[in-house]
Amino acid sequence: MSEPDLSHLLLTAFRSLDTEIGRGLQDRGISDLRPSQAAALLLVDRAGTRLTELAHRAVITKQAMMQIVDELESLGCVRRLPDDADARAKVVRLTAKGLRHRAAARKSVQAVEMRVRRSLGERRYEALRTTLTDLTPPTE
């Protein structure tokens, strides 16, 4: 069997980390949130964030982010409110439940990062972060 290509290795690593983050959420009593939804909660500013900005930060389409926000809204984690700066626009704001879920998500992500850091060692961990950053196209 030939060696897997780089995209397969990256996708496999992502899925493994994503699953681990999901288990971390479960361990923290959060059973109604998928890792992709948790990731979106981590992108919302305290004062609220426009949907287009959330999509930009997540590097996904506006439509994909709209679906995630719809799901988060139905879970009671976010609300869409008028933007004070532009009455035509809406901002996504965290509810009290969303703040609790975001705190659990942050702890889950931090725990996974600490495990990876311990597993790889400091030098390899920093090299991995640098390499992944180098592979990431700049955002506009």
**67-100 confidence digits (pLDDT tens):** 999 999 999 999 999 988 888 889 999 999 999 9
- Tally of CB atoms within 10 A around 122: 9
So what's the pLDDT on residue 83?
A: 87
Distance CA 118, CA 23 (A): 19
Is residue 7 within 8 Å of residue 20, measured between CB atoms? no
> Tokens at residue 28, please?
């923290």
* pLDDT-derived band at 140, boundaries 50, 70, 90: low
Q: What is the pTM of this model?
A: 0.87
* DSSP bridge partners of 94: 78
* CA–CA separation, 119 and 140 (whole Å): 34
Complete domains list, the chain, with CATH: 6-135 (1.10.10.10)
